[in-house]
Structure 1
Amino acid sequence: MTVDDRFARDFRENRDLPLGTLNEIVTGPVSDWATDFSHTEPEWAADPYPIQDDLRRRCPIARTERFGGAWLPTRYEDVAAIAYDTERFSSRSIVVRNFRPPREIAPVGDAPPISSDPPFHHDARKLLLPAFTKTAVARYEQATREFCHTLVDAMEGREVVDAARDYAQHIPVRVIADMLGFPPEDGPRFRAFVESTLEGVNLPPEERVARLSELFDYLLEQIRAHVDAPRDDLTTYLIDAELYGRKLQPDHVAGTMALLLIAGIDTTWSAIGASLWHLAKTPADRERLVAEPALLTTAMEEFLRAYAPVTMARLVKEDMHWRGVDMKADDWVLLSFPAANRDPAQFDRAGEVVIDREVNRHAAFGLGIHRCLGSHLARMELRVALEVWLERIPDFTLDDPAAVTWSTGQVRGPRTLPIRIT
C-alpha cells in the first residue's frame, strides 16, 4: 500500500463519525432579539450593530431556541470571560449550525487547532506558529502587492467596479493558495467552499455534509499531489509534521488545511471589503488617509475594531448557572467579537469610527487561547490591499448604497460592493 493510499484510507475512516445531535432547521423573522435571535437572518447581516447595542442595554446575554438552543453575550467582559474559560466551554465546534458534532471528537475537533481543547490545543497550535510569524509572513508581501496592482489594472477604464468581487475576494485566495501550494486557478472553488461552510449552516445536515465532503475530497487530491511531489509549502509541512513522536492523523492534516483555507480567506476578504466600504461612504476619512498614508496602520486597527468580521462559537460542557442565566450542556454560545468591540464600557466613542484612535485593544482577532494564529498575515494583506487601492484609486464613492450586500452567518463582510471611481 502506498503512502497516499494509506492516507486516503485513514482519512476516510477517521471522517466517518456520527453527526451528533440533530436539531430542527429554524429560519424566518425574529420575534424578539433577546429571546429569539438568529445571526443567519438578513436583518442581522445588513446591520447588526443597533441590535447588539439594544441587547447590551436590556439583555446582555440573549437566548434563542433556534439551532437547538444558543446564547449571545454582547458585553466585552462576558465575551472575554467565555473565551478564556476552557474548563466550562468547549471549542470542538466553532460554527453554530443545526447539528452538534459528537463529544467524541474532542479534544482535537474537526479543524485543529481552532476546534481543539486543552491540552491538545497547545501542541497543535505550536506546530503552526513558525509559518505565521512576522518574518514568515513578510515573504508574501511583495507578491501580494504585485497581485493587488494586477487586480487594479484589470479595472482600467471602468467607472463602476465591485470592490468585493473584483478586488477584496481575490487577495486572500491567492495568498492562501500560495501558502498551501494549491493551484491559483482553483480560486472560484475556494470561494464556493467558504460560502458552503460558513453560510450554509441551516442546510439539512445530509446536504451540508455532502458539501463538506466536496471540500475534503479536494483537500485529499491536494494531499496526494504533495505526497507524490513534495514541495516547500505548508501542505508538505503538515504531511511531514510529527506530534507526540508520530505523523499527524490524516483528519488532523485535512482539518487544519480546511481551517487555513476557509478562515484564512473569508475573514480577510471581509475586513478588506468593510474597510473599503467605510472609506467609500466617508469622504473625510478617505481624503485624510490619501493625504496622510502613514496613518493607515492606525486606521486599519480601527476598521478591524469597528467592523470586526468574526464571531466564534463555543459549546457549554455541563449544565450550569452562569452570570444570571441557566446554560445547559451542549448549548451553543456565540462569541460576538464585533459586539465586544463596540461595548462603551470598554471603548470610548465605541459606536464611532475614529481612524486616529491611539489606544485600541480590540478583539477582532479573538481572545484567549484561540486568538487568531494568522493575525500577522491578515494585517499584512489588509494593509497592502488598502495601500495599493488608495494609491491607485484615491477618489471613489459608493455607487448605490442600497446595492451593497453582506454575508450572513459568523463571518460578516461585503459580498457585493459597487464603487464608483471618480
Structure 2
Amino acid sequence: MGVDDRFVRDFGQDDGEEPGGTRNEIITGPVSDWATDFSHLEPEWAADPYPIMEDLRGRCPIAHTGRFGGGWLPTRYADVAAIAYDTERFSSRSIIMSNFRPPRELAPVGSTPPISSDPPFHHDARRLLLPAFTKSAVAKREEAARAMCHSLIDDLRGQEVVDAARDYAQHIPRRVIADMLGFPQEDGPRFRRFIENVLEGVNLPAEERTARMDELFDYLLVQIRAHLDQPRDDLTTYLINAELYGRKLESSHVAGTMALLLIAGIDTTWSAIGASLWHLARTPADRERLVAEPGLLPTAMEEFLRAYAPVTMARLVKEDMSWNGVDMRADDWVLLSFPAGNRDPGQFERAGEVVIDREVNRHAAFGLGIHRCVGSHLARMELRVALEVWLERIPEFTLADPAAVTWSTGQVRGPRTLPVRVTSP
C-alpha cells in the first residue's frame, strides 16, 4: 500500500520554494517588538505568553511578523473567531506555521484530513471520524483510562518528588490513542519524538526535518501494513476500510488522518492535564477546594481549559486583501491563538484570573468553526479522569521548584517538566 508525499509537504517539507518562504531561513531569535516581529517559538513566549498577548491586545490587536515568510497574530476573541469561521478567505491546507507553504493544489483535501481540509471536502472527511468520538464511544474507554491513571500513580510510590508531566500527564493520552489506533503500547517513547519533531522542530534545516518526518511516515506505513495483514477492531482498520464517494480512502488520506490523531490526540491532552496540575500545585486554595468539593471538578476543568488552552492553529490567506485594518497578502500565515482569545477581557469577565467556579464559560480551547476539535469528548474524559484520580490519590502536592518547570514551544503549549513534591500516593 503506497502513500504519496503530500503529508510531508503539509508540514513544510516540499523540496521547492513556496511563495512567502525561503528554505532554511532562520525564524527564531530575539524579538525586537512583538507587534511587528512576533515569534511563538521564543523561550519567553513558551514560559509565559499571556503578558505578551495582553500588551498586544491593548496596542496592536493584530500583530505582524516578517518571519515565516510573513504572518499575523490576532489577539482579540472576536478576530480569532471571525477568521476561524471564514473559510472563504482563509485556507486550512497547512495548520503548522513554518517557512514553507504546501502547494495550493493540496486544497481542499489537504494532507492531514480533516484538519487540513477546506470545504466542501472537509465536511465529509470529518464525518468519517465522528462515530469513534461520540460521548457514548468515549464513555466505553473511561474504565480503562481510570485504571491506567491508578497504575501510573502506583508506579510513583515512595517518591517524594515526581514529574507530573513526564511520569503522569503524557502517558494518559499516549496510551489511550495507541489503543484506539491499535498501535503497540511499547512504542510510546517514539510517539513523543514524533510530536516534538512535528510541532517543535519547525526551525530545523529542511533536510533534517524531512528525515524526521520520514521516520513518522515510515512508522505509519508499518502499522497500516500490519493492519492489512491482520485486520482488527480499531480505528486504523476502520480507516483502511472506510469509503468516501463510493470508493476506499486514498492511502495518503489514511496515513494523514492517522498522523493527525497520533500527534494532536496526544500532545493537546498531555498539555491540558499538565497545565491543570501545574495550576493546582501552585494554587493551594484551588487544590484544597477541589479535594473538598470533587463535584466542582467538571466546572473547574473547563476553566483550566479556558485559562491554559494549549492549542494555536494556523491558516493561510487565500488572496490579497484588507482585513480589519491590516493588509494581508496571499499565502500570509494567520495564527489563530485560541489562548489569546480565551484571555480577552472583552469576552470574559476577570479574563486574566482562574476562577474555578466560573459558571458561564464559552471558551475556545477546542477551536471554533468547522475545525472545532472532533475529539473534544475524548479529551474532556481524559482530563477529568486524570484529575479525579490524581486528587484522590495525591491530595497534597506543591511545586518542588517553580524554576524547574519547562513548557513546550510552538503551537501546542504545555508543561514538559513539572516536578512536584507529593504526599505518599
Q: Shared topology, TM-score over 0.5?
A: yes
Q: Which residue of 2 aligns with 1:316?
A: 317
Which residue identity does 1:320 align to in structure 2? M
User: What whole-Å deviation, never above 9, does each CA across 1:93-139 have from its counterpart, x for those lacking one?
Assistant: 00001211111111111110000000000000000000000001111
- Verify the 8 A CA contact 2:8 2:213 in the aligned structure 1: no
- Verify the 8 A CA contact 2:7 2:256 in the aligned structure 1: no
Which residue identity does 2:88 align to in structure 1? E
Q: Which residue of 2 aligns with 1:294?
A: 295
Cα drift, residue 334 of structure 1: 0.2
Question: For residues 270 and 161 of structure 1, what CA distance do their matches in structure 2 show?
Answer: 17
Cα drift, residue 12 of structure 1: 3.5
- Verify the 8 A CA contact 1:271 1:309 in the aligned structure 2: yes
Question: For residues 390 and 295 of structure 2, what CA distance do their matches in structure 1 show?
Answer: 15
Deviates most, 25-34 or 382-391: 25-34
Q: Which residue of 1 aligns with 2:281?
A: 280
Question: For residues 388 and 39 of structure 2, what CA distance do their matches in structure 1 show?
Answer: 36
Does the C-alpha gap of structure 1 residues 123 and 217 become closer, same or farther in structure 2, counting only changes over 3 Å?
Answer: same
User: What whole-Å deviation, never above 9, does each CA across 1:67-108 have from its counterpart, x for those lacking one?
Assistant: 000100000000000000000000000000121111111111
- TM-score normalised to the size of structure 1? 0.97
Residue 106 (1) aligns with residue 93 (2):
no
Question: For residues 268 and 187 of structure 2, what CA distance do their matches in structure 1 show?
Answer: 19
2:343 alignment partner, SS class: coil
- Verify the 8 A CA contact 1:98 1:205 in the aligned structure 2: no
**Match runs of 1:272-421 below 5 Å:** 272-421=273-422
- Verify the 8 A CA contact 2:6 2:106 in the aligned structure 1: no
Question: For residues 115 and 172 of structure 2, what CA distance do their matches in structure 1 show?
Answer: 23
Deviates most, 22-31 or 312-321: 22-31
Question: For residues 202 and 71 of structure 1, what CA distance do their matches in structure 2 show?
Answer: 18
Question: For residues 67 and 113 of structure 1, what CA distance do their matches in structure 2 show?
Answer: 24
RMSD: 1.0
Cα drift, residue 418 of structure 1: 0.3
**Match runs of 1:11-26 below 5 Å:** 11-12=3-4, 18-19=14-15, 20-21=17-18, 22-23=21-22, 24-26=25-27
Which residue identity does 1:43 align to in structure 2? E
Q: Which residue of 2 aligns with 1:4?
A: none
**Match runs of 1:205-244 below 5 Å:** 205-244=206-245
Runs of 4+ in 1 over 6 A off after TM superposition: none
Question: For residues 15 and 272 of structure 1, what CA distance do their matches in structure 2 show?
Answer: 28
Does the C-alpha gap of structure 1 residues 287 and 85 become closer, same or farther in structure 2, counting only changes over 3 Å?
Answer: same
User: What whole-Å deviation, never above 9, does each CA across 1:187-234 have from its counterpart, x for those lacking one?
Assistant: 000000001000001111222121111101000000000000000000
- TM-score normalised to the size of structure 2? 0.96
Q: Unaligned stretches of 5+ in structure 2?
A: none
User: What whole-Å deviation, never above 9, does each CA across 1:170-197 have from its counterpart, x for those lacking one?
Assistant: 0000000000000000000000000100
Aligned identity (percent) is 82
1:135 alignment partner, SS class: helix
User: What whole-Å deviation, never above 9, does each CA across 1:260-299 have from its counterpart, x for those lacking one?
Assistant: 0000000000000000000000000000000000000000
Question: For residues 359 and 201 of structure 1, what CA distance do their matches in structure 2 show?
Answer: 37
Question: For residues 107 and 15 of structure 1, what CA distance do their matches in structure 2 show?
Answer: 14
Does the C-alpha gap of structure 1 residues 121 and 270 become closer, same or farther in structure 2, counting only changes over 3 Å?
Answer: same
Task: Give aligned pairs, total.
Answer: 414
